[in-house]
Amino acid sequence: MSAPRRVSVLGIPVDCVDMARTLTAVDGMVAGGLPRTILAVNPEKVMKAQHDPVLRRALDGAGLLIPDGIGVVYAVRMLWGERISRVPGAELMPAICGLAAKRGYKVFLFGASREVNEQAVAKLQRRYPGIPIVGHHDGYVDEAQMPHLIDEINGSGAQILFVALGSPKQELWMEKHLPRLQHVRVCQGVGGTFDVIAGRVRRAPAAFRRTNLEWFYRLITEPKRALRQVALPQFTLAVFRAKLSSRS
């Protein structure tokens, strides 16, 4: 299968995929010879990357950029006419774990607290019997300890690495350390997904997810996110301007 089409939203690349095509791409990445990253693209990240050269470089160099935010999905449809669908990072990680259990891909989990990390591993092993989770480590690792962590990941033979450090820390970690990983072929930045899998954080109810209002549920349940959500109207306005500019 050919690589998914990559388009640009306000100068930030996004791959035209749905969940099924994303998993097909993951298969291809595991079979490839180089480590590749999977990063999520949402309106907040698009706006931040406008003035954050490190984040922008990480996005530009990613192996796969999933449309995690519904705003990005609508923007791609409006600007490029591509009928893509949302691929939430919190759903992609479990889907990749299901693929790993089926294919025998070796998995390593890095990030979050020790307790959350261990609970996430236990939940995944129960949910996907036979999944080869070959190692895991919490995210509290300073730079002096990092060579030991890299050795641990390399020694495990992991082909898929999930990094849960939050953005942009996880993108910076991947950019710096991915070239030193000998067997990893897929490295996904998963933010707070370990907490969701461990049962520490609840996702929006199904009704909110079906109507693409998960962002609204998170806003009303976590009012402190209001400042971050300022990026949404800014993103929407910028996309409409881009559409008008393309017509002219």
DSSP 90-108: HHHHHHHHHHHHHHT--EE
Is there a domain that residue 65 lies in? yes
Residue 118 pLDDT greater than 90, yes or no: yes
Half-sphere exposure of 208 (CA within 13 A, CB side): 13
Is there a domain that residue 234 lies in? no
CA angle (193, 51, 139) in 5-degree steps? 30
Is there a domain that residue 101 lies in? yes
- Burial level of 4, CB count in 10 A (0-12/13-18/19+)? buried
Each as own residue / partner, the long-range contacts of residues 78-84 (CB below 8 Å, 24 or more positions apart, any chain) are 78/239, 78/243, 79/7, 79/9, 79/239, 79/242, 79/243, 79/246, 80/7, 80/16, 82/5, 82/7, 82/16, 84/16, 84/17, 84/18
In this prediction the pTM is 0.88
Is there a domain that residue 208 lies in? no
Is there a domain that residue 154 lies in? yes
Query: For residue 246, what pLDDT is reported?
Result: 81
Rg (CA), the chain: 18
How many distinct structural domains can be found in the chain? Answer: 1
| C-alpha closest to that of 137 among 162, 159, 166 | 162
* pLDDT tens-place string over residues 168-181: 899 989 999 999 99
* pLDDT tens-place string over residues 11-57: 999 999 999 999 999 999 999 888 999 999 999 999 999 999 988 99
* pLDDT tens-place string over residues 204-237: 677 766 766 666 666 666 666 555 667 788 999 9
The C-alpha atoms of residue 243 and residue 226 are separated, in whole angstroms, by: 27
Is there a domain that residue 137 lies in? yes
* pLDDT tens-place string over residues 4-20: 999 999 999 999 999 99
Residue with tokens 């009303």: 220
Contact 202, 128 (CB under 8 A): no
Query: For residue 193, what pLDDT is reported?
Result: 95
- Regarding beta strands 64-67 and 36-41, do their DSSP bridges make them parallel or antiparallel, or are they unpaired? parallel
For residue 57, the enclosing domain spans 6-198
Is there a domain that residue 31 lies in? yes
Is there a domain that residue 235 lies in? no
Query: For residue 203, what pLDDT is reported?
Result: 65
Query: For residue 221, what pLDDT is reported?
Result: 64
Contact 81, 99 (CB under 8 A): no
Paired with 36 in beta bridges are 186
